[in-house]
Structure 1
Amino acid sequence: MLLVTGITGHTGRYFLKELIAHKYEGPIRCIVRETSDTSMLDNSGLDIEKVYGDLNDKEFIRKVMSGIDSIMHIYNIHHSPMIVETAIENNVKRAILVHTTGIYSNFKYASQGYTIEKKVSELTSDPNCLTKVTIVRPTMIYGDLCDSNMSKFIKMIDKFRVMPVINGGRSLIQPVNARDLGKAFYTVLTSPEKTAGKAYDLSGEKPIQMIEVFKMISDNLNKKTTFVSVPLSFGVVLTQIAKVLTLGKIDYVERVQRMGEDRSYPHVEAKKDFNYRPMSFEEGIEIEVNQYLKK
């Protein structure tokens, strides 16, 4: 039996679409919230068991791990150590963990995943451990209006004719479309002989400067936008002031700091092991902007 977390979320839904498209035959146990929209699960035609519970509850995790052979953990990197620990206790053969390339960041919050991956490594270091762990690390995820990245930029560029850009938008990013992640998750799941025990960075087709991203969005919106370069230091000061004035409720300091940080990572190993070939950003952002315009 396959256990899945986060299947009703942004990338989880695209993973579910792959399971449906390939007519996955095994039983699937999905951990969902009481408030989750499970209509896709209910209408999937797959052998799905829905389980409601809290991933922070270790006893709950122990119970749902019974009879499980493989795990696809999509929801929240911070639960990975507990997921792996209980998987080992239950002799689960395989766990696939969706983490983040934020582990490579120079900034504290984004790089917390490094410590988490270290804990996972320690848990599986025993040579007698039967659970094989695969880690996949998406870059900045986009794809539709449910994402928390490009959808915000689209709204801003649609609303403002003049837009500030940190350091002229020269930093590199490599956004990955959620559709490509859904395909990659399914391929990793069904290719244990090639992917078990390995880690993969899952990025978009190629690196692109932030300013080019903004220009593509503006062009797809058919807008004339003027982009004004703002020094990183000035942007950080403004966000620090906003944090103080709102008593910490608005805290975008690290987000702005990362706007000056290159966030592009190659996906060579994924291409070699399971023929990972993500779509171009040009194609992906056109799909998302069209969704926005229709809405």
Structure 2
Amino acid sequence: MVIGGTGLVGGYIVAHLQGRGGRPLVLSRTERTSPGIAWVRGDLRDPASLRLPEFATLYCTADAVLLAQALPHLLNPRLRRVVAFSSTSVLTKFDSQIARERQRMQDLIDAEEQIAAACRQHDVGWTILRPTLIYAEGRDSNITPLSRLISRFGFMPLVGSAGGLRQPVHAEDLALGAIAAADSPASINKTYALAGLETITYREMIGRIFDGLGRPRRTVPLPPALWRLMFLLAKPLFPSANVAWGLRMTKDMTFDAGPAVADFGWSPRAFHPVFT
């Protein structure tokens, strides 16, 4: 069963499960039909109404908070493994200056604990995956909006040196990692950070977006005060962003993916996006 199968990472999970000869069950709020997929209509926000066939493995790329609330309704006698996605932001944004972000991170942490507790209670092996900065050219909400900003203005404003470290990770690699984790006994009842192969500065990350667009690298360093003003101009391209996004350009956000490498062979690609 894949919850979030119409989304970025979940769509790749569905495709790769099909590629392995499976016919995954995929939850959808709307009626759908497609070859090789058993679509099940239902809404995770209304878990009591779900009428699902039994399944042995559950992948959830949807909001972990919703999964935590719905999991008691998803448990069935055949279920043996749950692989759920959270975020490394629970560690990088817990002290955000934005109260809404701090609350969101606390909600995610609570959800992780609830998922683990429910699985332990029913003898189901759980794995929680915390990705870093997720991208998939033209489809994600992290790197793609930056490419659009660069395409529109031809340059990218940065806060100071923008030397904060990042580890962008491709959505397809996350899907492959989730499937590998579900297959690995070593990953049972553990939480992992899933980082991209490379650790690069925010400035270099932006530079590679320029490269992927076939444009010369043009960045403009700004002091934090001026960044706040420039952010107002860019806000229409980033409707869900806040000013703290830019101020974090100087903050390191890196994680050790070594345990994931050891336990289920985590092997992500380097960050060289190509935009067509």
TM over 0.5, shorter chain: yes
2:16 match? 18
Deviations 1:223-258 (A, max 9, x none): 234311123354346658999xx9xx8761343343
When residues 29 and 172 of structure 1 are mapped into structure 2, their CA distance, relative to the original with a 3 A threshold, is same
Q: CA deviation at 1:163?
A: 2.4
Q: CA deviation at 1:95?
A: 1.3
Q: CA deviation at 1:171?
A: 0.9
What are the equivalent positions in structure 2 for 1:232-247 lying under 5 Å apart?
232-236=224-228
Q: Distance in 2 between matches of 1:159 and 1:241?
A: 12
2:115 counterpart of 1:117:
no
Deviations 1:67-101 (A, max 9, x none): 23221111112212123333457673221111111
Code of the aligned partner of 1:207: T
In the alignment, is the contact (CA less than 8 A) between 2:155 and 2:218 conserved in 1? Answer: yes
2:214 counterpart of 1:222:
yes
Q: Distance in 1 between matches of 2:230 and 2:158?
A: 13
2:152 counterpart of 1:159:
yes
Q: CA deviation at 1:17?
A: 1.9
1:102 match? 89
Unpaired runs of 5+ residues, structure 2, are 97-101
Q: TM-score w.r.t. structure 1 length?
A: 0.80
2:81 counterpart of 1:83:
no
Deviations 1:202-243 (A, max 9, x none): 110021111101112223323234311123354346658999
Q: Distance in 2 between matches of 1:166 and 1:32?
A: 41
When residues 73 and 222 of structure 1 are mapped into structure 2, their CA distance, relative to the original with a 3 A threshold, is closer
2:170 counterpart of 1:177:
yes
Q: Distance in 2 between matches of 1:15 and 1:197?
A: 21
1:143 match? 136
In the alignment, is the contact (CA less than 8 A) between 1:137 and 1:201 conserved in 2? Answer: yes
Deviations 1:23-47 (A, max 9, x none): 12xx532111227xx56xx13xx3x
SS state at 1:114 partner: helix
Q: CA deviation at 1:144?
A: 2.1
1:7 match? 5
What are the equivalent positions in structure 2 for 1:254-269 lying under 5 Å apart?
254-269=244-259
Between 223-232 and 83-92, the greater mean CA deviation after superposition: 83-92
Q: Distance in 2 between matches of 1:55 and 1:257?
A: 35
Code of the aligned partner of 1:154: S
2:206 counterpart of 1:210:
no
In the alignment, is the contact (CA less than 8 A) between 1:142 and 1:177 conserved in 2? Answer: yes
RMSD: 2.7
Code of the aligned partner of 1:267: A
Q: TM-score w.r.t. structure 2 length?
A: 0.85
SS state at 1:111 partner: helix
In the alignment, is the contact (CA less than 8 A) between 2:55 and 2:76 conserved in 1? Answer: no
Using the aligned pairs only, state the percent identity.
Answer: 23
Q: Distance in 1 between matches of 2:90 and 2:248?
A: 13
Q: CA deviation at 1:124?
A: 4.5
1:252 match? 242
Code of the aligned partner of 1:144: E
